[in-house]
Structure 1
Amino acid sequence: MKNEEQGPTEAEIEAWQREDFFLPADEATPETHPSLYNISAGLMMFTGVVRPLEPQLPDYVTIPMVHASAELVVQVSKWNVLWEAGQFRRRFFSGDDLPEPIAKIAELGDINTILVPHTRSRYFEYAPLLHLLPKATLDRFGLPLLRRGQWPFLADHSDADRFLPADFEQRLAKAWAWSVWPNINSGSPMQAFSGDDPIRVLSHNLNYWIPPVTKVIQDTLGQFPEVDEGKTVGPVPLEDGSFLPGAVTGNPRQGGSVWTGREEAVEMVAATVEAADATGHLRDILDAVRSHRVEDDFSNRWSYAREDFERKLYRKRSKVQVRFVELTDTIPVQGPESDVLGKLVTSDFLALLNEKQREVVVLLSSGFRQHEIAEKLGYANHSPISKRLAQVQRKAVEFFGLDK
C-alpha cells in the first residue's frame, strides 16, 4: 500500500500531465474544437496598460525553460500577458528584478517580443497554427488531439514537448499547407504541382504564417471590451517628468475565446491568408509566381492551372516563325529576353539545349562555318557539328510545333 505521506509517483504525474494536455476524441466536437483562449492582464493584477499608437507585430523569442525557476515562470507569464503594451512592455519591469533571459531582452530596448520555451518540437512557437486545425486534419497527418490552446504562452504545465512526435514540425507543416491551400490556390489541388513549386513551398513554411495568424489573434482581441479599472486614456508619464512618445494609458482588455469550433476556425484561416498580404506580401508573391510559371512547377497530374499554362505557352510558340539560316556579319546579344538571331529561337528554346548544342548555335549565328566550329571545339572534322545541328533542328520542330 502506498504511504499517504509520500508524494505522487512519476507515473501518476505523467498521467495527470497527459490528461491536461490531450483531448479525448469524443470531446472534439465541431462546436467546441479547435479553440484558442486568452487570459486578460487584469487577472494577473495589472490594473492598467500602456498601448502603443503604432504597435509592432511581435517576434517569438525562445528561451531555455527546462527546470526553470518559479521566478522565471512567473515573469514570463507577466511579460507575455502584457501583449497589449507591444514594444513598451519592458517598461512595466525593473531590469534589476528580471531573471537573466528576460533581462537581456529588456536591455535591447522597446521591441515587441513574446517569450516561449525553447523545445525540440517548436510546439509553443507554432501553437496558434496547430489550434486552427480540425480533428479530421489532425488525424490525416498523425498529429495529436490537444485541449484548448492558450495565447500568448503563459506556462507549460504538461511538459508538452515529450508527448509530441519527433517529426511534429514536419507533420504540422503538411497539415497546415493542406488546410490553407484552398485559400491561396482554389482552382487546382496541391498534388497538381511539383514539390518545388514556390507556392507549394510557401504553404508549408510555418515561419511565414506565424506573423499573419498573430496579427489576426491580436486584431480579434483588440475588439474585446476593456476591464473597468478606472484608467482614462492619456499620455504615459515617465520618471523624469516627460511623457512616453507614441503611447497612451488605458485599461486592460478582457480575455476570452479567440475562436471556438470548426466554423470559426475556418474563418480564422481565411483571415490569416488575408493578413499575410500585409505581413508577407502574399498577393505580390502569388502574382509573381503565376506570371512566371515554368513547366517544372507542375506534376504529371492534370489541373486547370497546368492547362492554362500550356495554352498560353503554345499560343506564344505559334506566333514564332523559325528559319534556319547563317548570318555572316551578325553578333548575337544575349539577355534575359533576347533571341539568338542566327536561328531566330527564343531563350526558352535555348534552355532545352545542352551546353555543346548551345555553343554550336551561338557560333553558327556569329558567322562561323561548320568546319570552323569543329576546329574551335576541338573536333577533327565537321561531322559531330552536323549531328548536333540535326539534334537542335529536331528539338526546334518539337518545341515550336513545326511540320516535319
Structure 2
Amino acid sequence: MTTMTTHTRPGDDESTEPSWHLQRAMLATPEYYPAMNNLSAGHLFNATLRATAPDPLEYVTVTNRSLEDIGALGLWNMHWEAAQYRRYLFDEDELPGWMSKLADQGERNICFIPRTTTRYYELAPLFHLLSKDTLLRHGLPVMTQGVWPLLAPLGDVDSVLPLDAQDRLAKAWAHTIWRHLMPGSRMLGFTRDDPIRLLAHNLDYWIPPVTEVLQARLRQLPHSSAYEPLDEPAVLMDGSTLEGARLVRPRMGSYLWQGEQEAAQATQEVIDAADGTGNLRGILDAVRSHRIQDDFSNHWTYAKEDFERKLHRKRSKVKVTFVELKDGPPVHSPETEVIGDIVCNDFLALLDPQDRRIVVLLSSGVTKLTDVAATLGYANHSPVSKRLAKIRKLAERHLA
C-alpha cells in the first residue's frame, strides 16, 4: 500500500493533488538529481523509421484531450527518430481527427505536448537541467525526473507549480548559464535591459538548442537488442520507397543525464548547440564589441573594468605623426598655431578618421630634423625636437 500525501502550492491554499509530481527525497540527491529519461519505442514497436536528414523539431501544444487522444500523442512522440516521416507509421484510423489533420499537412517534424498555464511541458527540458538547490532558491518545487519525448502527462501539473513558475524558471536558468555567457562578471553588474541578460532569461530561445542536445544524446544509444538488426529502405504500402528515411529497430531507452555533474555537462552542450540554432557566439561578440556605459550597473565587474580601460585607452593614446604634403602649400587659418617657423594647421581639418593620425605641416618641405635645424639657424636638432614634442602635446589636447 502506497501512502499519498498532500502539499501546499506556493501562494495558494492546500491542494489535494498527490505528491507523485514531486521527487522523493532519496532520489533528490546531487548523485541522482536532476535527471532526464527516455522510454524506448521498442517496448511497443519492433521497428521505426530513421530520418537521414531530420527537420528541426516543432512543439505543438494541445488542450482538453481525452485519454484516447493522450494515448495517440504518446505513440506519436515515441517515434522521435522518424522526425518528419513519422506520419507514415500510422494508418488514418489510428490517429484522432485533430492529429490526422496536422499529419495530412505534409512532412512536418512535430512533437505534441499538453498546454498548461505554467508551460511546464514546453519548458521541461530546461527545468530538468537545474539542480535541487537552484530550484529551491528560486521558489520552484523539486519535480520528479523528466521524460523526453513526453509520452503521457501526469495529472494537473499546474497544481504543484507557483503561478509565476515561468518567471521563476527564467531567473533560475539565467543564474545557471550566466557564467558560460559572461565568465568572471556577475549578473548584478549589468542593468536589467542588458542584451545578454535578456537573452539569458529568454526561455524560448533556449528550447531549440536543448532539443538538439536531447536528440543528439538519443542518437548515441544502441538499437534494441530484442530483435535481429534491421537497416533497410522504407517501403510504403503502394510499393514505392520513402526517400530520406530508413527502416530500423527502435533505440534503447536510457537516462540522458542523471545527477548534477552530468546535467552540468549537458548544459555546456546546450550552450554550444545555441551557436547553430541561435547564433549565440555571434550575438555575444556583437554585444561585447558595442558596449555602452548604460549597459552596466553601479556594481563592479571585470567586464565593466575592461570596458572603462579600453575607453580610456582610446581617448588618451593618440598617435601623432608628421608627414610632408608636397602637392600643396601650407594653409593658414585663424585656428593655425605658429610655433617659431613651424606651422601647425587646425588639427581637426587634417584629422584622418581611419587611423586617427594628425597631419602637421612643416613650413618647408624638409622633413629631416637636422635639415630643419640648419634652415632655422640652430646648431643642432635639439630645439626642433622640443618644438615638435610641444606640437604633439597640442595635438593630444586638441583631440581630447
TM-score tier by shorter-chain length is: 0.7 to 0.9
User: What residue number does 2:42 align with?
Assistant: 42
1:97 positional shift:
3.6
For residue 184 of structure 1, what is the aligned residue in structure 2? 181
Q: Cα 1:326–1:82, aligned 2, differ >3 Å: closer, same or farther?
A: farther
Shift of 1:201: 0.6
**1:21 partnered with 2:18:** no
Q: Which has the higher helix share?
A: 1
> Equivalent residue for 2:124?
127
Q: Considering only CA atoms, is the larger Rg found in Structure 1 or Structure 2?
A: 2
Determine the C-alpha separation between the residues in 2 that align with 1:163 and 1:190: 29
Shift of residue 19, structure 1, vs aligned partner: 2.0
Contact 1:183 1:273 in 2 (8 A): yes
State the distance in 1 between where 2:103 and 2:115 align.
Answer: 18
**1:101 match:** 98
| Residue correspondence of structure 1 range 290-309 to structure 2 within 5 A | 290-309=288-307
| Paired letter, 1:311 | R
Are 2:167 and 1:170 equivalent residues in the alignment?
yes
1:138 counterpart SS class = helix
Following superposition, the deviation at residue 195 of structure 1 comes to 0.8
- In structure 1, the partner of 2:310 is 312
Work out which of the residue numbers 56, 75, 82 in structure 2 matches 1:85: 82
Secondary structure of the 1:108 match is coil
The whole-number CA distance in structure 1 between the counterparts of 2:40 and 2:213 is 17
Query: For residue 248 of structure 1, what is the aligned residue in structure 2?
Result: 246
Deviation at 1:93, TM superposition (A): 1.5
Query: How far apart are 1:55 and its partner, in Å?
Result: 1.3
- Please state whether the residue corresponding to 2:231 is helix, strand or coil: coil
The 8 Å contact of residues 25 and 145 in structure 1, kept in 2 or not, is answered as no
Post-superposition offset of 1:20? 1.2
Letter in structure 1 aligned against 2:37: Y
- Do 2:17 and 2:159's aligned partners in 1 also have CA atoms closer than 8 Å? no
Could you state the TM-score of these two structures normalised by the residue count of structure 1? 0.74
Does the Cα contact within 8 Å between 2:61 and 2:114 map onto a contact in 1? yes
Task: Structure 1: state its 5+ residue gaps.
Answer: 1-8, 328-340, 347-399
Q: CA RMSD in A?
A: 2.8
1:223-372 equivalence runs, <5 A: 223-228=220-225, 229-319=227-317
Paired residue type of 2:112: L
Q: Return the alpha-carbon distance in structure 2 between the equivalents of residues 120 and 183 of structure 1.
A: 30
- Tell me, yes or no, if the aligned pair for 1:217 and 1:258 is still in contact at 8 Å: yes
Q: Tell me the secondary structure at the aligned position of residue 234 of structure 1.
A: strand
Cα 1:27–1:257 change in 2 (3 A) is: closer
Q: Which residue is 1:392 aligned to?
A: none
Query: How far, CA to CA, are the matches of 2:140 and 2:178 in structure 1?
Result: 18
Q: Cα distance 1:401–1:197, how it changes in 2: closer, same or farther (>3 A)? A: farther
Structure 2 unaligned residues grouped into runs of 5+: 8-13, 320-332, 336-347, 354-395
Amino acid at match of 2:21: F
Q: Which moved more, 1:168-177 or 1:55-64?
A: 55-64
Q: In structure 2, do the counterparts of structure 1 residues 403 and 110 end up closer, same or farther at CA, with 3 Å as the change threshold?
A: closer
**1:204-225 deviations in whole A, cap 9, x for unaligned?**
1111111111111111111111
Write out per-residue CA displacement over residues 292-337 of structure 1, whole angstroms, 9 at most, x where no aligned residue: 111111111111111111111122222569xxx999xxxxxxxxxx
Residues 34 and 133 in structure 1, CA contact (< 8 A), matched pair in contact too: yes
Identity %: 47
Q: Check 1:318–1:48 CA distance in 2 against 1; reply closer, same or farther (3 A cut).
A: same
CA distance in 2 between partners of 1:56 and 1:276 (Å):
16
**Cα-to-partner distance string for 1:209-266 (whole Å, 9 max, x where unaligned):** 1111111111111111111323521211122322111111110000011111111111
Q: Which residue does 1:56 correspond to in 2?
A: 55
CA distance in 2 between partners of 1:326 and 1:33 (Å): 76
Query: Alignment partner of 2:154: what SS?
Result: coil
Where 1:259 maps in the other structure, the secondary structure is strand
Which of 207, 215, 218 is 1:218 aligned to? 215
